């Protein structure tokens, strides 16, 4: 009997230990974990440097209020600012908090320049920005909002790829366009670089802010530190979360100087956000991921893996429709419902997770070994051949 609320459809398996790319079930079975907490454990399980960082910090100081200066957070913010478009960082605890804070930053900016009616946020229909009340209405998904009314106003939606309606829906009350650079839950749909470029131009022309939600695709997941970097586009606001804590809950909103000017003292706050324990771990994660060799390795291994997946697709063109994604944010789109395929992979000791549009989402740790990728390829091939 479980006393946990029934809001998750859990697989009947529990794990007691994790090491690198692997998880060990309470029954002692070994699984190749290509879920990694949904793109959270960017460095795999039990990374020695993260263990050391956590254990050292745990002996010093865990939590102080944001009423005081937190040096570990100052340090992490500086690192983020030095390597990205951002001029300022605001720490949170999760992705939904980060996307909601991003919305607050956008609205507050226009309020601060005397345009309080410029407050609507334009999003992609059936995107994913988190599960809090405003975030579900930002996502514009019927399933996620069902039963949670009244509707939170202030969001408009266009369909993925529908540039005409995107242009039409921007009006004088639009504060920002908010999209995921790569749609994760929505089925690993990459926004092409030329689209991002066009969108930036459009936002400039219409004097609208660009929010790129990199909660899932950021922090090296795409092979670049941010997925938008490849397009050379500079967003105004970027919420991040999943990968930055390597398994420890951290969220943040990155912003440029212009929009940060609205966030004066007292406009936003978080009790837990940016506490010393979280910040120390964030520093360790970013130090490792920021090494050029690290991301080059992600790109190289991802290229190999995606090439091999495409070869499998060619052998089984009636099962696999498309290989999608970038870096280690990969989707295997099937022709039919993916539930059984994911179960078969799991029976063969490979953990993956679903995304929309019949997609099997594959999220190895960023430091996965090539030999581990080969194990996964072998299992995927076997499941295809038995299918």
Dihedral sign for Cα 112, 114, 118, 119, please: positive
Cα–Cα distance measured from residue 348 to residue 321, given in angstroms and rounded to the nearest whole number = 22
CB of 210 to ligand PLP, least distance (A): 15
Q: Could you give the string, one character per residue 182-221, with x where binding to ligand PLP holds by CB under 6 A and - elsewhere?
A: --xx---------------------------x-xx-----
Cα–Cα distance measured from residue 227 to residue 262, given in angstroms and rounded to the nearest whole number = 26
128 lies in the site for ligand PLP, by CB under 6 A:
yes
Residue from the set 47, 108, 118, 129 that interacts with ligand PLP by CB under 6 A: 129
Cα–Cα distance measured from residue 286 to residue 338, given in angstroms and rounded to the nearest whole number = 34
Gyration radius from the chain CA atoms: 21
353 lies in the site for ligand PLP, by CB under 6 A:
no
Residue from the set 18, 73, 130, 262 that interacts with ligand PLP by CB under 6 A: 130
CB of 131 to ligand PLP, least distance (A): 6
| Orientation angle between helical segments 71-83 and 276-289, nearest 10 degrees | 30
Of 141 and 308, CB closest to ligand PLP: 141
What are the distances in angstroms from CA 335 to CA 134, 227, 295, 314, 330? 33, 27, 32, 14, 16
Cα–Cα distance measured from residue 200 to residue 202, given in angstroms and rounded to the nearest whole number = 5
100 lies in the site for ligand PLP, by CB under 6 A:
no
Of 39 and 345, CB closest to ligand PLP: 39
Of 134 and 383, CB closest to ligand PLP: 134
Q: Could you give the string, one character per residue 164-183, with x where binding to ligand PLP holds by CB under 6 A and - elsewhere?
A: ----------------x---
With CB under 6 A as the rule, give the number of residues binding ligand PLP. Answer: 15
Cα–Cα distance measured from residue 208 to residue 176, given in angstroms and rounded to the nearest whole number = 5
325 lies in the site for ligand PLP, by CB under 6 A:
no
Using DSSP's 3-state secondary structure scheme, residue 317 falls into: coil
Query: Checking phi first, is residue 182 left (phi over 0); if not, alpha (psi -120 to 50) or beta?
Result: beta
Q: Could you give the string, one character per residue 222-251, with x where binding to ligand PLP holds by CB under 6 A and - elsewhere?
A: -------------------xx---------
Residue from the set 53, 94, 275, 283 that interacts with ligand PLP by CB under 6 A: 94
Which of these, 49, 83, 78, lies nearest to 229 by C-alpha position?
83
* Nearest-10 Cα torsion for 131, 137, 143, 149: 100
Q: Could you give the string, one character per residue 12-31, with x where binding to ligand PLP holds by CB under 6 A and - elsewhere?
A: --------------------
Positions touching ligand PLP (CB under 6 A) are 94-96, 99, 128-130, 180, 184-185, 213, 215-216, 241-242
């Amino acid at each position: 009997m479980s006393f946990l609320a029934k809001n998750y459809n859990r697989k009947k398996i529990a794990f007691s230990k994790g090491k690198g790319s692997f998880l060990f079930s309470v029954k002692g079975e070994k699984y190749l974990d290509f879920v990694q907490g949904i793109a959270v454990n960017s460095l795999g399980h039990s990374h020695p440097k993260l263990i050391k960082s956590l254990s050292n910090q745990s002996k010093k100081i865990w939590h102080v209020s944001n009423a005081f200066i937190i040096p570990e957070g100052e340090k992490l913010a500086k690192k983020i600012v030095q390597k990205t478009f951002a001029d300022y960082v605001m720490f949170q605890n999760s992705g939904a908090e980060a996307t909601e804070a991003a919305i607050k930053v956008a609205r507050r900016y226009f309020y601060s320049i005397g345009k309080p009616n410029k407050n609507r946020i334009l999003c992609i229909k059936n995107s994913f920005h988190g599960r809090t009340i405003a975030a579900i209405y930002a996502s514009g998904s019927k399933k996620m909002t069902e039963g949670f009314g009244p509707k939170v106003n202030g969001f408009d939606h266009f369909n993925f790829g529908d540039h005409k309606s995107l242009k039409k829906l921007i009006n004088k009350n639009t504060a920002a366009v908010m999209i995921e650079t790569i749609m994760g839950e929505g089925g690993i749909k990459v926004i092409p670089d030329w689209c991002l470029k066009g969108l930036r131009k459009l936002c400039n022309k219409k004097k609208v802010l660009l929010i790129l939600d990199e909660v899932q695709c950021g922090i090296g997941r795409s092979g670049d530190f941010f997925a938008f970097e490849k397009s050379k586009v500079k967003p105004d606001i970027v919420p991040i979360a999943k990968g930055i804590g390597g398994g420890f809950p951290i969220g943040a909103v990155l912003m440029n100087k212009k929009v940060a000017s609205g966030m004066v003292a007292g406009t936003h706050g978080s009790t837990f956000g940016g506490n010393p324990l979280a910040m120390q771990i964030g520093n360790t994660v970013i130090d490792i991921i920021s090494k050029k060799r690290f991301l080059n390795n992600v790109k190289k291994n991802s290229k190999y893996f995606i090439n091999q997946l495409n070869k499998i697709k060619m052998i089984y063109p009636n099962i696999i429709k498309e290989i999608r994604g970038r870096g280690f944010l990969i989707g295997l789109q099937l022709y039919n419902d993916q539930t059984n395929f994911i179960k078969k992979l799991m029976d063969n000791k490979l953990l993956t997770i679903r995304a929309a549009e019949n997609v099997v989402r594959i999220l190895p740790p960023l430091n996965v070994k090539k030999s581990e990728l080969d194990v996964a390829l072998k299992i995927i091939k076997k499941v295809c051949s038995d299918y």
